[in-house]
Amino acid sequence: QAQLQESGPGQVRPSQTLSLTCTVSGGSVSTGDYYWSWVRQSPGKGLEWIGYIFYSGSTYYNPSLKSRLTMSVDTSKDQFSLTLTSVTAADTAVYFCARAAKASYNILTGYYYYMDVWGKGTAVTVSS
């Protein structure tokens, strides 16, 4: 069974860049069966899906974060990463990485995906 583990700084200064990495064990990011996602949770906004990346590097970002967000994948290390620029207090949250597996299939749009395996989360505080 795959396991995911987030890592990164617990505190970031306002206007700086937040970088987080998710390491996958017991599986590989290179399998074409999954997308690799990020979700965050803050008291004020609840659970918010950030976006996902495929092993090929193709991405989909939440439009609310798209202008500040970059995701990348390192297949040699079985890791994927998130970079969020120009952070503010509103970016303070617990950040989770999650694996998204194939769900039902639509002949017009292809597969839908659901998040089945999650990391334990890492708390990030934006503060000077």
Partner 1 sequence: DIQMTQFPSTLSASAGDRVTITCRASQTISNCMAWFQQKPGEAPKLLIYDASSLQSGVPSSFSGSGSGTEFTLTIASLQPDDFATYYCQQYYYYPWTFGQGTKVEIK
- Residue among 16 and 118 whose Cβ is closer to partner 1: 118
- Residue among 68 and 117 whose Cβ is closer to partner 1: 117
- Least separation in angstroms between residue 126's CB and partner 1 is 21
Query: Residue 34 in contact with residue 99, Cβ under 8 Å?
Result: yes
Distance of CA 62 to the CA centre of its chain: 11
- Least separation in angstroms between residue 89's CB and partner 1 is 21
- Residue among 15 and 31 whose Cβ is closer to partner 1: 31
- Least separation in angstroms between residue 82's CB and partner 1 is 15
Given the rule CB under 8 A, which residues bind partner 1?
A: 39, 46-49, 51, 60, 62-64, 96, 103-104, 106, 112-121
- Least separation in angstroms between residue 76's CB and partner 1 is 26
